[in-house]
Amino acid sequence: MSSDTAMPLDEFIKQLESLAAEAEQTFQDAVDAEKLETARVEFLGARQGRLKSVQKSLGRIDKSDKPAAGKKLNEVKNRIQSSFEASQANLSCGQAERIRDLQVDPSLPGQRPRIGRLHPITQTIEELKDIMGRLGFTPAEGPEVEDPWHNFEALNIPEIHPARDPLDNFYLSLASKQAGLDSQLLLRSQTSTVQIRVMENTPPPVRIISLGRVYRPDTADATHYPMFHQMEGLLIDTEVSLADLKTVLHLFATNYLGEDVPVRIRPSFFPFTEPSVEADYYWNGKWVEFGGAGIVDPNVLKSVGYDPDAVSGFAFGLGVERLCMVRHKITDIRDLFTNEVRFLRQF
């Protein structure tokens, strides 16, 4: 009988190895519990299992080889068993041993670190800077307390101009009693002052934005505040025209609003630009005012020592509060400066 035939150790080990490999593969391939169970019965079944049948061959091993054969058998048995368990764990995730402790409520609030918010005006300014930066405009800064030259004269606003009316500006003097002299200093009424300071100190080309606080003595109400923020852009080079202006405004609006929006320019009047225009963008079915702009007036170029026949440029300015309020649907400008944390934390 074949069952009585002696089996060499090599042969036995080979059989075990191949059984183990086949079992591992089969367990691994079992995609559900049913298939895995079938495989278990096939390989590990107590009566008919294939491991059992190989085990039966142990009797045919030469006596001297038995310890080695037995060791190998145990090894393979463990291997197949753990392979089965691994597959079972993969499939069932060991349901039986996992008990949910209901005293632990994972929906309780976490220990939340408070993260503060940037002011919506700062967020708007950062976005404007970001967009204009991509268009090649470098931020420039200048003082908020200005002299009449930078706030008016150099901007083509002569002494007799209504914009210089003391009632329309915050003129300053030293609060000390002994300083009787009127300084003529004032809080800047527009950020164009920065353009003058940059042009006075930089030969063309110039490509800057100036951003910051400006001041006009309006009584604070829902739509006015005596302090607000402006962004102004300035580009001076040898050949700069209204077409450059319109293109930059178009790129800006497209960037800011996130899709291609039409822009238009229509005539307006500002002392420091000629031609002066009002720029609008078409948004939600209507034209929305964007800000004032124009070609830098030759008198301004002359006042900073540029030759208006050699260089030209455009400038544009817009109110940061208005952009911010439109974007966030803020209806009262005073809310921006009351600093209630319930307001600030919305943004």
State the Cα–Cα distance between residues 74 and 70, nearest whole angstrom.
6
Closest CB to another protein among 39 and 301? 301
State the Cα–Cα distance between residues 237 and 248, nearest whole angstrom.
14
Tell whether residue 249 is a contact of another protein (CB under 8 A).
yes
State the Cα–Cα distance between residues 293 and 245, nearest whole angstrom.
8
State the Cα–Cα distance between residues 106 and 34, nearest whole angstrom.
34
Tell whether residue 227 is a contact of another protein (CB under 8 A).
yes
Closest CB to another protein among 13 and 172? 172
State the Cα–Cα distance between residues 244 and 234, nearest whole angstrom.
11
- For the bound state, the minimum distance from the C-beta of residue 292 to another protein, rounded and expressed in Å, comes to 11
Q: Which of 155, 248, 323, 325 binds another protein (CB under 8 A)?
A: 248
- Considering only residues 284-343, where is the footprint of another protein by CB under 8 A? 295, 297-298, 312, 334, 336-342
Tokens 């009262």, located at residue: 332
- For the bound state, the minimum distance from the C-beta of residue 144 to another protein, rounded and expressed in Å, comes to 6
Contact present, 140 and 210 (Cβ < 8 Å): yes
Part in contact with another protein (CB under 8 A); list of ranges 50-58, 75-83, 90-98, 219-227: 219-227
**How many CB atoms are located within 10 Å of the residue 148 CB?**
16
Q: Tokens for 326, please give them.
A: 């439109």
Tell whether residue 33 is a contact of another protein (CB under 8 A).
no
How many residues bind to another protein according to rule CB under 8 A? 90
Closest CB to another protein among 30 and 121? 121
Annotate each residue in 134-173 with x if it binds another protein (CB under 8 A) or - if it does not, as one string.
xxxxxx---xxxxx------------x-x--xxx-xxxxx
Q: Tokens for 277, please give them.
A: 């225009």
Tell whether residue 76 is a contact of another protein (CB under 8 A).
no
State the Cα–Cα distance between residues 68 and 49, nearest whole angstrom.
22
Part in contact with another protein (CB under 8 A); list of ranges 2-10, 40-48, 82-90, 129-137: 129-137
Closest CB to another protein among 40 and 150? 150
- For the bound state, the minimum distance from the C-beta of residue 122 to another protein, rounded and expressed in Å, comes to 6
Tell whether residue 46 is a contact of another protein (CB under 8 A).
no
Closest CB to another protein among 200 and 278? 278
Part in contact with another protein (CB under 8 A); list of ranges 31-39, 49-57, 64-72, 239-247: 239-247
Q: Residue 156: name the closest of 164, 168, 144 by CA.
A: 164
- Considering only residues 254-273, where is the footprint of another protein by CB under 8 A? 263-269
Burial (CB count <10 Å: 0-12, 13-18, 19+), residue 39:
buried
State the Cα–Cα distance between residues 304 and 25, nearest whole angstrom.
84
Integer CA distances (angstroms), 83 to 40, 86, 89, 96, in order: 10, 5, 10, 19
Q: Which of 13, 49, 153, 275 binds another protein (CB under 8 A)?
A: 275
Tell whether residue 117 is a contact of another protein (CB under 8 A).
yes
